[in-house]
Amino acid sequence: MFDLNPVFIPGPTNIPDRLRHAMNVQTRDHRAPDFVETFAPVLRDTKKVFGTEHGQVVFFPASGTGGWEAGITNTLSAGDKVLIARYGMFSHRWIDLCQRHGLDVHIIECAWGSGAPAQKFAEILNADKQHQYKAVMVTHNETATGVRSDIAAVRAAMDSASHPALLMVDCVSSLASMPFEMDNWGVDIAVAGSQKGFMLATGMAILGVSQKAQAAMQNAKLARAFFDFRDMLKANASGGFPYTPPLQLIYGMRESLAMLFEEGLENVYSRHHRLAEGVRQAVAAWDMKLCAQSPDLYSDTVSAIYVPAGFDSNKLTNHAFNTYAVSFGIGLGEMNGKAFRIGHLGALTDVMVLSGLAAIEMAMADLNYPIQLGSGVAAAQQYYRSTAQKSA
């Protein structure tokens, strides 16, 4: 019975039965004509979620980390200078990946809980008169700290410097949950995955690739084989795949897109904002603080919450799991032991979120946290009641 409990981690997310059934298909021939009939519309429709008409979408059997690697190896060469800010665990890991590939990584160190420093990007790029920086890399939604950065502001900073660098964005924990405008924001590489907003199993890296990035891949010298865009785009042009595809995930993706479009992307984004705001109301009622430093940075997919001084957030998440069989996100990196995370993305409703808030409150009460049992749940209930769409 315990597997009936939803997870409240920021991915992988809960998989709706509709999508589990869609992925439960027998082996099929990926060279057969009916695969083309399935796959080509999936590629086309995924572009709508990225917000691109001019870019291409590519899928690789991988997680988001594979997407990072595909993005840089197809567009850059060893020794290329790239600019990236470190303000959480996932921007840190992207930096590490770039360094392992021999890129010259210029790191802007930022406080965890802050977002992408658009003004600092502008200053550095304005000073780069020789255009040595080949790429600017930004984590749209920093899952470790619950911070959403302003990608449009980063693009404006790059444009103010008339800088030709590629703009690469990690949108793994934001795509299909929060607005993303690849074309309007001038994003050249956007990296996502199957296991978060698309509500599928882990195993498929999903990338948006601009025309500018496609041009850059012609001169890129970093080694790639499995992740070569050229092979993938050539095969995709006729609705195929250059090697064995993750067939079950592609069938799941077809159904995921149907679910997203049936709800309507704007409604999907509104639902995520509403669920997140209910969690934030609960955090305030507990008299706790979010890691995100200001409301303009609040993520609508995950909230990272500092525990009071003298408490260990790892003990809290362990207790919630061991006692109530509910998973919450642990603190990562600098947040380890200091904060826990509530994921509120994907297949969730306000009723499900309330159950998670009740569970973590019970765990906090068990560990003698200075909270009043039911206070956060009540605050979220009040918010959800006041914002509910009344059925006829």
186 and 156 Cβ atoms separated by less than 8 Å: no
The pLDDT tens digits of the residues spanning 26-60 come to: 988 888 888 889 999 999 999 999 999 999 999 99
Is residue 2 very low, low, confident or very high in pLDDT (cuts 50, 70, 90)? low
Check residue 249 and give its pLDDT. 97
Please give the CATH superfamily to which domain 265-387 belongs.
Answer: Aspartate Aminotransferase, domain 1 (3.90.1150.10)
Section 7-35 average pLDDT = 93
Token digits of residue 220: 């890129």
- Asked whether this chain's domains 17-261 and 265-387 adopt the same fold, the reply is no
Q: What is the DSSP string of 307-353?
A: PPTT--HHHHHHHHHHHH---BBPP-GGGTTTEEEEE--SS--HHHH
Tens of pLDDT, residue by residue over 349-381, are 999 999 999 999 999 999 999 999 999 999 999
Which pLDDT value is given to residue 3?
Answer: 75
Structure confidence by residue, pLDDT tens digits, 86-120: 999 999 999 999 999 999 999 999 999 999 999 99
Mean pLDDT computed over 133-146: 98
| Residue 391, pLDDT above cutoff 70 | no
Q: Where are the domains of the chain?
A: 17-261, 265-387
**How many helices and strands (H and E) does the chain possess?**
13, 12
Tokens of 255: 């159904």
pLDDT for 1 beyond 70: no
Please give the Cα distance from 362 to 325 (Å, whole number).
Answer: 12
Tell me how far apart the alpha carbons of residues 25 and 27 are, in angstroms, rounded to a whole number.
Answer: 7
Confidence of residue 143 (pLDDT cuts 50, 70, 90): very high
| Percent of the chain whose predicted confidence (pLDDT) is above 90 | 94
Quote the distance between the C-alpha of residue 276 and its chain's center.
15
The pLDDT value recorded for residue 392 is: 38
The domain 17-261 is classified under which CATH number: 2.40.37.10, 3.40.640.10, 3.40.50.11720, 3.40.50.2300? 3.40.640.10
**Contact by Cβ (8 Å): 328, 302:** no
Give, as one character, the DSSP assignment of residue 300: S
Q: Round the average pLDDT of the chain to a whole number and report it.
A: 96
For 264-294, write each residue's pLDDT tens digit: 999 999 999 999 999 999 999 999 999 999 9
Predicted confidence (pLDDT) per residue in 303-317, tens digit: 999 999 999 999 999
Q: Averaged over 4-12, what is the pLDDT?
A: 94
Note the pLDDT of residue 4.
Answer: 84
